[in-house]
Amino acid sequence: MITMKDIVREDNPILYKVAKEVDLPASKKEKETLKEMLTYLKNSQDDAIASKYGLRPGVGLAAPQIGLSKRMIAVHFQDLDGRQYSYGLINPKIVSHSVEKAFLTTGEGCLSVDRDIPGYVPRYSKITVKATDIEGNELKLRLKDYAAIVFQHEIDHLNGVMFFDHINKQDPFAIPENSHPIG
Ligand SMILES: Cc1nc(NNC(=O)[C@H](CC2CCCC2)CN(O)CO)c(F)c(N2CCN3CCOC[C@@H]3C2)n1
Ligand code: NI
């Protein structure tokens, strides 16, 4: 079972590398790892399990965060309309995106960053993602607002990009033009 000791922190160079594409079909081990990443998210959202094992809550997780420089992510969350997303994805790719942007009014955090970094994180408000799921099915997901933000945070990790790279250095709470707040 994945716990916080398995999650690498921001001083680890693996977080700043471009992760490698997974050769399809994914190996048994790669599928197993992806399932474990999804299980971490579910466990972290269960108060009893999270407190028992000291898990920080998460709605997304990227393979580099558990020391694996492979293009795999897991997401498990409900968006603000109550739509449920629960995926283990292989080689996710943003194939198109909106011009307009969105940001979480709460700012963002990261399981690999043990400190609060204040500021808005501007992201595309709409994205289309192509990926392969754990069963090997090709998926095309059209995502907006909260869901789009979660997926972008995770896909950033596959490209060595951290959420704080997007925060305006001069004014962390500057409202980006052509953007709207979420949450
Ligand atoms: C927004 C949020 N971020 C939480 N943590 N950070 C993360 O997930 C990081 C990834 C997210 C940071 C911003 C976008 C993606 C992890 N990252 O580093 C992976 O790369 C949460 F935990 C959380 N929620 C709301 C829903 N709640 C349901 C009940 O259970 C608790 C849960 C808490 N919402
Ligand atoms: Ni993160």
Q: What are 66-94's pLDDT values in tens digits?
A: 999 999 999 999 999 999 999 999 999 99
110 C-beta closer than 6 A to ligand 1:
yes
Residue type, 94: I
Q: What is the mean pLDDT of residues 92-115?
A: 98
ipTM, interface predicted TM-score of the complex: 0.99
Which pLDDT value is given to residue 87? 98
Q: Which of the four pLDDT bands, split at 50, 70 and 90, describes residue 44?
A: very high
Probe target for ligand 1 pocket from 59, 110, 146, 151, with the most ligand atoms within 8 Å of CB: 59
pLDDT in tens, 129-141: 999 999 999 999 9
Q: What is the CA radius of gyration of the chain?
A: 16
Q: How confident is the model at residue 10 (pLDDT cuts 50, 70, 90)?
A: very high
| In the block, residue with structure tokens 């558990």 | 66
- For the chain, count helices (H), then strands (E): 3, 8
* Res 32: pLDDT: 98
Which residues is 20 bridged to in the sheet?
A: 70
Look at the pTM and tell me if it is higher than 0.80: yes
Q: Are 69 and 20 in contact (CB under 8 A)?
A: yes
Per the prediction, the chain carries an average pLDDT of: 98
Q: Is the CB–ligand 1 distance for residue 60 below 6 Å?
A: yes
Q: For residue 109, how far is its CA from the centre of ligand 2 (angstroms)?
A: 7
Distance 8 CA to ligand 2 centre (A): 10
Distance (Å, rounded) from C-alpha 129 to C-alpha 118?
28
Alpha carbon dihedral 122, 148, 118, 11, in 10-degree steps, equals: -110
Instruction: Point out the residues that are catalytic.
Output: 154
CA 52 to centroid of chain Cα atoms: 24
